[in-house]
Each structure stands twice: as C-alpha cells, then as structure tokens.
C-alpha cells in the first residue's frame, strides 16, 4: 500500500464539512425527483476512494441487488471511527454518502446515537431503508452499528 491506513481513512470531509445538517439544508430546496436524485448521485461521487484490494468477501455487505463493500478504521489517538463504503450502483453510493456524512469520524458511542432512519425519513427516502428494498442500505447501517458496538 502506498499511502498509510490513517491517511486513507481520514483525509476526507465526511462527518466534517459534509454533514447531515448541510445535506438536509440543501435537500430541502430541491424541487423535483430529477434534482433530488442528481444531488444524491453527486454526493456518491464525492465518496473517498475505496481500495480495490479490499473488495473481498469479508468486507462485502450482503444486500439483494447492488454490491456494497464497507471497511473501518479506529483512530486510537482521537478514539474516532472512520468508515469507507463503496457500491457498484450510483444511487446506493449516494445513499452510502448520506450514511457516511451522518456516521463517519465519530466515537463509537456518538455513532450509535445517530438515528439514520430519521434522516432518511426527512429526505423522504425512507423506503430505501425499509426491509422491502433489497439494496443493502439497511444491512450497511446495521453493519456499521455492529462494528461500533464491538469497539465499545
């Protein structure tokens, strides 16, 4: 690996300048489904690079349709948990970006206090998190929560 793990996980703005409040504020002004989905897809394009070598079974999030990968890194110095997520579907990448904005760069305890469903509810995207949609988002969030629980 050319760059160290710490840099790879922490050199991005998710949970920093890209955060839930900012996303919700922007989203509120989008008028139709074209604008909303264009914004979601754009958010996905901002996701930090996910190392190809980590796209292995152990990091695979089992959903029904698109492929999702998730890895994490606990920064011992700050006690913060960092996440990287990737998917082969544009919209799922965008939804992953919303998850990352809400959950990245927080201590495991802070992370577990985040109510992701509420965020998706506010964005009227709740059906993406519901059990009927097999796009892996629900299992993505669940996996992050399990990781955080194990680190406490």
Partner 1 sequence: MNQQAVESNNDSKMTFDIKAVRKSFPILDQNVNGKPLIYLDNAASAQKPDTVIQSISDYYCHDNSNVHRGAHTLGDRATAAFEGARETVRRFINAASTKEIIWTGGTTEAINLVASGLTASLKADDEIIVSRMEHHANIVPWQMLAERTGAILKVIEINEAGELQEGAFDKLLTERTKIVAVTQVSNVLGTINPVKEIIDKAKAAGAITLIDGAQAVPHFLVDVQALDCDYFVFSSHKLFGPTGIGVLYGKEDRLNALPPYQGGGEMIERVTFEKTTYNELPYKFEAGTPPISEAIGLAKAIDYFTVFDRQSIELHENNLLNYANSMVSDVPGMRIIGTAASKVPVMSFMIDGLHPSDIGTLLDQQGIAIRTGHHCAMPLMDFYGLPGTARASFAFYNTQSEVEKLFECLQKIQRLFT
In the structure encoding, which two tokens stand for residue 126, read together?
């709740």
How does DSSP classify residue 48? Answer: P
Closer to partner 1 at the Cβ: 60 or 73?
A: 60
Catalytic residues: 64
Contacts with 94 (C-beta within 8 Å, 6 or more apart), sequence order: 37, 39, 40, 41, 42, 43, 44
22 is a site residue for partner 1 (CB under 8 A): no
- Residue 89 CB, nearest distance to partner 1 (Å)? 3
- Residue 38 CB, nearest distance to partner 1 (Å)? 6
Contacts from 57-64 at CB under 8 Å and sequence distance 24+?
61/136, 61/139, 61/140, 61/143, 62/136, 62/139, 63/134, 63/135, 63/136, 63/137, 63/138, 63/139, 63/140, 64/134, 64/135, 64/136
| Stretch touching partner 1 by CB under 8 A, among 9-17, 31-39, 48-56, 112-120 | 31-39
Q: Which of residues 56-115 bind partner 1 (CB under 8 A)?
A: 64-67, 87-92
Closer to partner 1 at the Cβ: 4 or 32?
A: 32
Closer to partner 1 at the Cβ: 74 or 91?
A: 91
* Rounded Cα–Cα distance for residues 80 and 106 (Å): 5
**Residues binding partner 1: number (CB under 8 A):** 17
Closer to partner 1 at the Cβ: 121 or 124?
A: 124
Residue numbers at the binding site for partner 1 (CB under 8 A)? 33-34, 37-38, 41, 64-67, 87-92, 134-135
């Amino acid at each position: 690996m050319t760059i160290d793990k710490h840099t790879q996980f922490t050199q991005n703005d998710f949970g920093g300048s890209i955060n839930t409040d900012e996303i919700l504020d922007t989203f509120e002004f989008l008028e139709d489904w074209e604008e909303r989905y264009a914004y979601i897809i754009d958010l996905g394009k901002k996701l930090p690079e996910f190392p190809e070598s980590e796209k292995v079974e152990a990091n695979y999030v089992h959903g029904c349709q698109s492929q999702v990968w998730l890895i994490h890194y606990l920064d011992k110095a700050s006690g913060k948990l960092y996440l990287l997520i990737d998917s082969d579907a544009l919209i799922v990448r965008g939804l992953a970006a919303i998850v990352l904005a809400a959950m990245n760069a927080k201590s495991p305890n802070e992370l577990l206090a985040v109510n992701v469903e509420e965020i998706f509810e506010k964005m009227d995207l709740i059906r993406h998190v519901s059990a009927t949609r097999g796009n892996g988002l629900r299992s993505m969030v669940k996996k992050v929560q399990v990781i955080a629980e194990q680190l406490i």
